[in-house]
Structure 1
Amino acid sequence: MKDSQRIQQVSENTLRTIPAMLRRCAVDGGDKTFLSISGLQLTAAQLEDRAARMATVLEAAGVGPGDRVAILCGNRVELFDLLLGCAWLNAVAVPINKASRGPQLHHILANSGARLLAAEADVLPALDHIAREGLALETLWVLPEQGEVPAISADWDVEPLPPLTTPREPVPCQPSDTAMIIYTSGTTGPSKGVCCPHAQFYWWGHHSVEILELTADDVLLTSLPLFHVNALATVFSAMLSGASVVALERFSASGFSKSLVEHKATVTYLLGAMVSILLATPGHPEDNRHRVRRALAPGVPRHFHQDFTDRFGIGLVDGYGSTETCFVIGDKVAEGKPGSMGRVRDGFQAKVVDEWDNEVADGTPGELLIRPEQPFSTSSGYFHLHEQTVAAWRNLWFHTGDRVYRDDEGYFYFMDRIKDAIRRRGENISAYEVEQVLLSHPAVAIAAVYSVDSEHGEDEVMASVVLTEGADLSHEQLLDFCQPRMAYYAVPRFVRFVNELPRTENGKVQKYKLREEGITVDAWDREAAGYKLIRDARRHKA
């Protein structure tokens, strides 16, 4: 390698940390609004200043390099302050799905070893359903909230989030250092903490810029939650391209077109279920008055593509990425095939294999395996789960657990999940974790949770339950028990009380038989019954 090439490589490598990306964006961005959130319009320089000030606050609370800071909130400016403040201090942010409850939330806090938790007031009552045992938490901050902060158990000492103070210089960090631990729903066990290095977010941004053809003139609008990599990648792609980001609090089907017009968006972000929901809403004159030319929308069924483009004038970009990987597969909108995820990106390798990891012929279904060519462009493993890390990355390939096939032109097509996971409305649900909540009810003897087909093109959660002898329990009572103990989106839609479950000779439940049966005539449907899910934790009763 020539000296000039080596110098260029070293220079590029130093930019592959979150503080370096933010600093360069702050220098290049000038007075242009970089982020619109919570009613605020911030330049990149102002966002950098807030990160530097939050780092001082965190340091005063005893947080240092490598320490984990858990964050439990929705899309709001304090989430950015904490995420970027942790990166500035070379600490590790642990953004948690705001809907996490019960055993899942306890497991995340315990496994991460977080010493500090910053949470919104409306999720504080969820802490009363988890035990303090096994947690390293020393400090609990409540984020600013209008109205009174709900009372929770005296076991928890709550302090208000301290105000931002004087800025400090960033602590040196490397692209290989862990920036965040993001918990992805477990498949055959509890949720796993994915260790995401700084460089992984650089490469998320890099590939997003190329696939979506982003420039400094773009306005990127997302309503997806910022505790997921999809929305996080939006922020880092803006840092690298100079685009602006609008982060909405939540998705609204009725307000979708209006929000695009109001914020002068040029690119937006959707999930497969969102597209079907939008197509089911009545047409509106503003559906074509916006400037959006494309949307990143993974998982959209092929038959929805043209209908969506015809109505909204937006081209849909599919792709493949996961918390463990990156934007591995994807094509520009003009180069994609509806129904296909796209082709493998430069910098990655992908193949389809059989159960023994032998590559299969094009057109043959198998498991998708991924391998990076750039250092630290994917996850470095699962936190404190060495055996699971080795198993997932066996034979030097990451095993995605997704069944796909590749055509003779190199386009990949998603078929289903090999692992025991359920995907509903863009959220990954662990059947194991739902089962653990069901089994904790004294009237439940056995429970099997699995996916059934949804009218929105994704999954619905179904549970087949065997009650204890003599138990008197209604479907509504069982779901009332579930609600404060799990994320609202994980609460089963269909519940079936049965006398027994199909089993193998060694006693394992044969879930494939349950999936094949699908929604049976004796299944109770909470939506048809008018049962309401409570999404606001303040309304949960202990």
Structure 2
Amino acid sequence: MGCMDQGAALSSEARQSAQRLALPALLQARAARDGDAPLFSDRRTRWSAAQALEIAARRAGSLAAQGIRRGDRVALLCSNRSEFMEIVLGCGWLGAVVVPINTASRGMQLEHILANSGARLLVAETQLVSAVYALDAARVALESIWLIDSHEDGEADEIARRTASPVQRQTLPPLAEPIAAADLGDGDPLAILYTSGTSGLSKGVICPHAQFFWWARYTAANLGVVRGDVLYTCLPLFHTNALNAFFQALTYDAELVADRRFSASGFFNALIETNATVTYVLGAMVPILLGRAATAQERAHRVRIALAPGVPGHFQQAFTDRCGIALLDGYGSTETNFVLGGGIDEQRPGLMGKLAAGFDARVVDENDHPLPDGVAGELIVRSDTPFAFASGYFGMPDKTVEAWRNLWFHTGDRVVREADGYYRFVDRLKDAIRRRGENISSYEVEQVLLSHPAVETAAVFAVQSEFAEDEVMASLVLREGALLEALELIRFCEPRLPYFAVPRFLDFVGDLPRTENGKIQKYKLRERGITATAWDLEKSGYKLKRS
């Protein structure tokens, strides 16, 4: 074989290998292995692997009939239900890019996501879509909205009928005739997942097909997922964690059961009812569950292990002893993968684990110079495998270059590498807040606070909660002569922010600490913490609406 012929053969082989990591090929391979085995359930609807394959091809057909083409973005505002996965599969089959949106998004954040992504079509549950109608239609590219009629909120449906909007609306169309899968490679984008900005607006993380495949491989390997496992999640599918769980089920011949939401009182009953063997929790969920009175249901399930990033070390063994579920820690982000971790036998409470094969990591100073073991610095990471990480931030080339400078992804997290190779999380360098598993941009919260006519200056920052995670606190300076009650400001924020981003603590002050050039010194506010004058939403008795 000549050099050119050999090169062509290698190129063809590489192309075929890349195609095997794209969603259409994964669906076809799973259906070929065992098409009748269950793959996905939302506890109301259940699909086998063969049915999921058919749904992908037919939902792609209905998207194509709407005029959606390869590379177009399709926004998705939907809770955990089968229609969510229908749209993901249809987009993945067609070569379109799905843009899942946090169902709590409101106002400026929601408008930015729709405008930045350039989504032409929005698929939304009827009871959620009123937040979209409240936006300035001229600022977004939406042409059509498909409404998922949940039959749960007649008021929202009435709002949809009464609201004047140039955007066409229709009920989610039925599945169309199947179409052929797009010719996709491992680097083609499957989703854009918006993660909160640290000093600006939310960034759309471009997640290629292969990133989800490798997320599934690394996560499932660490969890020990095997054929026939039932994976149960009550975490939202619009986040990496739960969406990754679907790909674990797909590639490891398991089933994913996606429940509507987390319920502390119903969690263990749900594990029993779904016959789950593996589950997923966030750091704050474990102390909440341990804070309840023990019940027989806590030991009546089949779950052997849970992916549990960020659970404080002193809770881990207590939870396992009480509930019989081993907790697996690790480290990853929407932009990266399961970079740090290991199997359950490699776990050490309070540590994130060791570097996984296929990745590289360094702890560095502010100039990216490596620091010795035992010294805290920023964690930077990279992958040896093509497209195991995100491809950048959509429509934000400057932010992409900044985050991937020197060809390493800069996590913004401050960590220590121990002498034995284990990594310990210290804190976040970025000006972001993580509350109840949600990333919150202090910038976005500040913009809402500053839009109130009585507020002159606002600084939003994290303070420690009783659940070992962050709470949102705001220090505010009012305009001269203005009067403002704390609860009035909370009610102002409520329709403009996701419920989890509404500040818990408000502190009205005369001035804020600043640098010589006038910049607010947030580190001083964080060091000060919850002041004696701070107003506490939790103690006020007022309950935020969560829809």
TM class, shorter-chain normalised?
Answer: over 0.9
| Aligned with 2:272 (options 254, 258, 261) | 261
2:42–2:257 Cα contact (<8 Å) kept: yes
Q: Percentage identity across aligned positions?
A: 54
What does 1:122-521 correspond to in 2, within 5 Å? Answer: 122-147=127-152, 148=154, 149-152=157-160, 153-155=163-165, 156-521=167-532
Instruction: Compute the displacement of 1:32 (Å).
Output: 1.5
Q: 1:240 to 1:5 in 2, by over 3 A?
A: farther
2:378–2:412 Cα contact (<8 Å) kept: yes
Partner SS for 1:532: coil
Please tell me whether residue 114 in structure 1 is matched to residue 125 in structure 2.
no
Provide the C-alpha distance between the structure 1 equivalents of 2:127 and 2:490, rounded to a whole number of angstroms: 21
Partner SS for 1:19: helix
Instruction: Compute the displacement of 1:347 (Å).
Output: 0.9
1:363–1:405 Cα contact (<8 Å) kept: yes
1:315–1:333 Cα contact (<8 Å) kept: yes
Paired residue type of 1:91: A
Paired residue type of 1:154: A
Instruction: Compute the displacement of 1:96 (Å).
Output: 0.5
Provide the C-alpha distance between the structure 2 equivalents of 1:90 and 1:14, rounded to a whole number of angstroms: 12
Q: 1:62 to 1:444 in 2, by over 3 A?
A: same
Q: CA-to-partner distance for each residue in 1:307-363, whole Å, 9 max, x for gaps?
A: 001101111100111110011111111111111111111111011101111111111
Q: 1:150 to 1:496 in 2, by over 3 A?
A: farther
| Aligned with 2:38 (options 33, 40, 63) | 33
Instruction: Compute the displacement of 1:187 (Å).
Output: 0.4
Where does the alignment leave 5 or more consecutive residues of structure 2 unmatched? 1-5
Which is worse superposed, 322-331 or 21-30? 21-30
Q: 1:38 to 1:312 in 2, by over 3 A?
A: closer
Q: 1:157 to 1:151 in 2, by over 3 A?
A: farther
Matching residue of 1:539:
none
Provide the C-alpha distance between the structure 1 equivalents of 2:431 and 2:250, rounded to a whole number of angstroms: 36
Paired residue type of 1:484: P
Q: 1:157 to 1:476 in 2, by over 3 A?
A: farther
Matching residue of 2:3:
none
Matching residue of 1:47:
52
2:19–2:183 Cα contact (<8 Å) kept: no
Matching residue of 1:62:
67
Instruction: Compute the displacement of 1:8 (Å).
Output: 7.5
Which is worse superposed, 5-14 or 502-511? 5-14
Instruction: Compute the displacement of 1:12 (Å).
Output: 3.9
Paired residue type of 1:160: T
Q: TM-score, structure 1 length as denominator?
A: 0.97
Q: CA-to-partner distance for each residue in 1:146-174, whole Å, 9 max, x for gaps?
A: 15313143125422111112111111111
2:43–2:257 Cα contact (<8 Å) kept: no
Instruction: Compute the displacement of 1:6 (Å).
Output: 8.9
Instruction: Compute the displacement of 1:468 (Å).
Output: 1.2
Q: TM-score, structure 2 length as denominator?
A: 0.96
1:129–1:485 Cα contact (<8 Å) kept: no
**When the two structures are aligned, how many residues end up with a matched partner?**
536
Where does the alignment leave 5 or more consecutive residues of structure 1 unmatched? 537-542
Partner SS for 1:20: helix
1:22–1:48 Cα contact (<8 Å) kept: yes
Partner SS for 2:490: helix
Provide the C-alpha distance between the structure 1 equivalents of 2:43 and 2:57, rounded to a whole number of angstroms: 20
Instruction: Compute the displacement of 1:203 (Å).
Output: 0.5
Provide the C-alpha distance between the structure 2 equivalents of 1:443 and 1:23, rounded to a whole number of angstroms: 58
Please tell me whether residue 523 in structure 1 is matched to residue 523 in structure 2.
no
Provide the C-alpha distance between the structure 2 equivalents of 1:174 and 1:217, rounded to a whole number of angstroms: 28
